[in-house]
Amino acid sequence: MRTNFFREAVLPLLLVDGIPIKSCMMLAIETVGKEITTIEGLRNTPIQRAFIEHFAFQCGYCTPGFIMNAYALTEQHPDADDSTIQEWLESNICRCTSYQEIEEAVKSVLMEKRKNE
């Protein structure tokens, strides 16, 4: 018996104080006093622009989760290496294709951050 089938599914992510959380895994009351960011809050950010520039959109269903995860990754791990990027992206599941374009988008944002430091 599965206690929460959706825990492993692709679900909308929220950033709660900058940490990606699957929306079904947190009660609304747990967010009191915390900063909540939805996909709409990442409009015109470097990660969104990188997804567009690198054609990192796949089916569209999984894209918001990838963008939320990628944003948190670039904020929390500006020195992320390939294995860290892959580990973070694997937490968002999509069966459309490989994550190559998504990885390229993330790497471009990380490179830009490093240049600006």
Q: At what angle do helices 63-76 and 46-53 cross, to 10 degrees?
A: 130
Considering its fold, how many domains does the chain have in total?
A: 1
The predicted model gives 14-41 an average pLDDT of: 93
* 92 confidence band (pLDDT: 50, 70, 90): confident
Give the residues across from 21 on adjacent strands: 14
Per-residue confidence (pLDDT) for residue 90, from 0 to 100: 87
pLDDT tier at 99 (50, 70, 90 boundaries)? confident
Whole-angstrom Cα distance, residue 37 to residue 55?
24
pLDDT at res. 4: 41
* Domain with 107 in it: 5-115
Please report, for the domain that includes residue 82, its CATH number: 1.10.150.120
The top-scoring range by mean pLDDT among 39-43, 61-65, 90-94 is 39-43
- At residue 11 the predicted structure's pLDDT band, cuts being 50, 70 and 90, is low
